A = this chain, B = another copy of it.
Amino acid sequence: MTLSKHKKYMEMAFKEALKGTNRTLTNPLVGAVVVKNGNIVGYGHHAYFGGQHAEEQALIKAGKSSKGSDLYVTLEPCSSYGKRPPCTDIINKFGVKNVYFESYDLNIENNKKASKYLKKFGINSFKIDTGLPSLSEYNAAYVKIVKQKLPFIILKAGLTLDGKLCDKNGCSKWITSQASRIFSHKLRASVNAILIGSNTFNKDNPKLNIRAPIKYKYNDPYKVILTGSGNLKLSNELIKKPQKGRVIIATTLSGKTYLTKRLKKVPDHISIETFSAMSNMKIPIKKILIRLKNKYNIASILVEGGAKVFTYFTKKSCFDKFYLFYSPRFFGTGGKCCSLFTETLQEQAGKPLKNRIIETIRLSSDILTVIENRT
């Protein structure tokens, strides 16, 4: 069969895979199609963490037609017992003849092992390269989790061309265009959690919900608030009303005491996580991220500010991408104008770049510049 035929089927599998966006983590996105005599007889995707794998879903859909079929799957099939039986066994059970996959799995349990198991069953398998986006592009969060055991971090700011988050009156609302705001809401629907600092929480009383049409099913992201002191406005929406997506407050022991004293009863939709040494620029970011991953299965986080939070994450180089939505405005310096960062950073003129611009997109009057952290 020519590569172009393979490519056609693999692209369909890839489209299937994307249907799981935001819900499969900490598992990867995977899509599969079953082809028999040139006809698609089954297709499927990994739809949520703990759910059926793409291969199993596609083969069940194909039923008896699976016998003697070609299976296209975006990722190397698993060959170990996890939450589901190994896909290699299932593939065998359904009588598949040939398996084509695009990327090796990074998970050490499965990495480069499928072929060996499939061969035992007399099934041919081929790693092919049809030029789809790389695993680290469409499964960036999965790759980060496997390699670094840390969630994928996206920072996101709406700012002026002179780098200001708010104007001389301290106002930060309606800086960017509607197109930028819609894009931001789509970003929210792609992650497991949204994180903000206490200043942003107290000042903006944000909803952190998704107010844009999203084409795929998604899980409402957790809403994480960082506060060393526990000094949060209790009348704010995220505390007062149950939300789609649980609220997690990351604070200190004394912050928790202060909060619970004022709250009397911690509302059911809120979890409080305590950490030591969490004040004055001493936020233990990595500890927080690891807890969020291990306890809540959070594998991707959108950090929405404010300036202090951006400063913590940037100083510790604790981000993967930075989405900067620039409005063609200038606010200048002084008054309550607030810069993107509250402290000096290590970066210097003339030194090698730590970041790379990977994309620029015009969004109505604005320009979105996407940065990738290269350190």
Contacts and interface: CB of A to CB of B under 8 A. Distances in A.
Interface stretch (A239-247, A284-292, A340-348): A340-348
Contacts of A214: none
Contacts of A353: 327-329, 365
Interface in A199-225: none
A38 interface: no
A173 interface: yes
A162 B314 CA distance: 12
Contacts of A367: 357, 360, 369
A309 interface: no
Interface string A289-333: 000000000000000000000010010000000001011111111
Contact of A344 (B311, B334, B355, B362): B334
Chain A residues touching B, majority SS: loop
Interface string A140-184: 000000000000000000001111101111011111000000000
B333 A344 contact: yes
A133 interface: no
A108 interface: no
Looking at chain A, what size class is its interface with the partner chain?
A: 35 or more
A222 to B, nearest CB: 27
A332 B360 contact: no
Interface in A66-87: none
Interface string A356-367: 110010100111
A64 interface: no
B355 A324 contact: no
A131 to B, nearest CB: 23
A140 to B, nearest CB: 18
Contact of A340 (B162, B174, B350): B162
A324 B166 CA distance: 20
Given A172-B349, A365-B356, A333 B341 contact: yes
B162 A341 contact: yes
A189 interface: no
B360 A175 contact: no
A125 to B, nearest CB: 41
Contact of A166 (B341, B349, B369): B349
Contacts of A173: 349-350
Nearest to A327: B353
Given A349-B167, A367-B360, A369-B326, A343 B354 contact: no
B324 A161 contact: yes
A231 to B, nearest CB: 23
A357 B328 contact: yes
